[in-house]
């Protein structure tokens, strides 16, 4: 529900999440490869599962960034009334 008191300069955290996901992909991939090469399959799996989660988050973020900005009502649009109690 829109109250009319939202910040007028609010910014999306998607770019920050993108770069944090890239950082996570690099480190989880490096950990997975390093542990696999040194013969520690349990630790490689422990780094591989977060790798899959981070890649999924990265794809999600890229999808939302590509969708572009969505409509946000301006100052001329009054706040919405709260829904009536439907008892």
pLDDT of residue 67: 84
Predicted confidence (pLDDT) per residue in 22-59, tens digit: 999 999 999 999 999 999 999 999 999 999 999 999 99
Q: What is the mean pLDDT of the chain?
A: 84
Residues in CB range of 49: below 8 A, 6 or more apart: none
Report yes or no on whether pTM surpasses 0.85.
no
- Whether residue 81 contacts residue 2, with contact meaning beta carbons closer than 8 Å, is answered with no
């Amino acid at each position: 529900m829109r109250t009319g008191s939202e910040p007028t300069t609010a910014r999306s955290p998607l770019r920050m999440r993108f770069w944090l996901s890239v950082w996570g992909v690099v480190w989880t991939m490096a950990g997975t490869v390093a542990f696999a090469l040194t013969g520690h399959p349990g630790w490689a799996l422990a780094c591989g599962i977060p790798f899959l989660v981070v890649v999924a988050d990265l794809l999600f973020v890229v999808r939302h960034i590509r969708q572009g900005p969505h409509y946000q009502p301006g100052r001329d649009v009054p706040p919405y009334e709260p829904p009536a109690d439907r008892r």
